[in-house]
Amino acid sequence: MSKSSRIPGFYKLSADERLDKVKEFADLTSEEIEIIKSMSGIELENATKMIENSIGGISVPIGIATNFIINQNEYLIPLATEEPSVIAACSNAAGLGRKKGGFTAKSMGNVMRTQIQLIKVKDLESAKNNIEKNKSELLELAQEKTPTLSSMGGGAKDLQLKELDTKRGKMLIVEIYIDCKDAMGANACNTVAESLASKIEQMSDAESLLKIVSNLATERIVEAHATFDKESLGGEQVVERILDASEFAHNDSYRAVTSNKGIMNGITSLAIATGQDIRAIESAAHAYASISGRYIPLTTWEKDTAGDLIGKIKIPMPVGIIGGASSVHPTSKICLKILNVNKASQLAEIITSVGLAQNLAAIRALVNEGIQEGHMKLHARNIAISAGASGELIEKVSEIMIKEKNVKFLRAKELIKKLEK
């Protein structure tokens, strides 16, 4: 029987029962189950190999978003987040997308650019000519510096020059384009920039200053789209309201930033779970959102001739599945196994689709009941727990507080006292 990510009542199961479902879906071993349940995955001894001065760790819960079909494959999505409602909302939106076949996503590839800044350039034209003339030698040298990537058909692919007229004088920027294949690639990019700099200095009769990857990954864009059936969304009126909400974001950067924050709720959570450099993903996303000179949403929403809603997202997605935490952190490795990914571009397509789902979930809630209602249940449970409730009392106390619309620590304390009697 083929696997399905639609698991009705998944949220009602105990954590152990949910793990059983995930174990079965992803063929996890009992050892992997123990690692993911441990809420940590790494020992302090190993942490000291990852960062300096390590003293411990902080855990973020991982939950599973269900219902995803992406490029015709079924996915259970592990999301690491501290924010209530994100996972429920994401699963819900993915469920709405299933009816029309789920998400279709396409990555344009894994090329990153690395930059070498040249200052004190004596003669710009001759510097440019000399570098251009020796382009293939430089690319070959770059290839030698990234033997693993090169052996896989990746590595340096092109070199371009860019002049900057700054208040500190003219600068020449050498940009080398590197196919990072299944790695995120920042290390390879930095290695290439640093190792080519002295040769380029000689060729240009200039001084090299910064040699570093650019995180504006415009050569690593992923596009995804999905159609959402209008009846499942709640009817024509809901579609119209979503279109109005989307127009608000497209015409006001204050709203666009919040809309994109909602997209990043999904993207960042999956990126954390799979051990990605989330700062790289976030900075690229927001820079890309303002690349036109105005900060705009990363998604667009329209309706088709049948009145169904079509969502599209376009975003840089610099992720990797080899190198970095993704291949050393035991929990990240398990999350990648749950996703059953074997290419960085596949992971990028999944993450992007999750972002689109998250955006729909947020806008749909906002144009209907608002988002507080969804948040309230978990919030009430948290308040009940922090006031000292345990076991069945957690549910009882939080239900009463929600009914009373009075979710407060002191009220929780009172209720615990009363119910304990």
Q: Hey, which residues are catalytic here?
A: 83, 261, 277, 375
Is 371 near ligand MEV (CB under 6 A)? yes
User: Measured from the CB atom, is 20 or 83 closer to ligand MEV?
Assistant: 83
Binding mask 65-104 for ligand MEV (x = CB under 6 A): ------------------x---------------------
Q: How far is CA 70 from CA 189, 205, 220, 301, 350, in A?
A: 30, 51, 19, 19, 7
Site residue total, ligand MEV (CB under 6 A): 10
Number of residues in the chain: 421
What are the beta bridge partners of residue 310? 227, 302
Cα torsion 4, 5, 8, 11: sign: positive
Burial class of residue 421 in the structure, from the number of CB atoms within 10 Å of its CB (0-12 exposed, 13-18 middle, 19+ buried):
exposed
Taking the complex as a whole, how short is the minimal distance between the CB of residue 88 and ligand MEV, in angstroms? 13
The full DSSP string for 241-283 is HHHHHHHHHHH-HHHHHHHHHHHHHHHHHHHHHTT--HHHHHH
Half-sphere exposure of 37 (CA within 13 A, CB side): 16
Q: Are 228 and 360 in contact (CB under 8 A)?
A: yes
Nearer to ligand MEV (CB atom), residue 356 or residue 416? 356
Pairing of strands 207-213, 169-179: unpaired
Find the binding residues for ligand MEV in span 324-363 (CB under 6 A). Answer: 362-363
The tokens describing 54, both together, are 């390590």
Assign 23 to helix, strand or coil. helix
Residues 254-313 that bind ligand MEV (CB under 6 A): 258-259, 261-262, 265
Identity of the residue, 265 or 345, whose beta carbon is nearer to ligand MEV in the bound complex: 265
Of the pair 242, 407, the CB lying nearest ligand MEV is at 242
**Which residue lies nearer to ligand MEV by CB, 265 or 274?**
265
Output 169 or 370, the one with its CB closest to ligand MEV: 370
The CA distance from 31 to 131, in Å, is 54
Residues that bind ligand MEV (CB under 6 A): 83, 258-259, 261-262, 265, 362-363, 366, 371
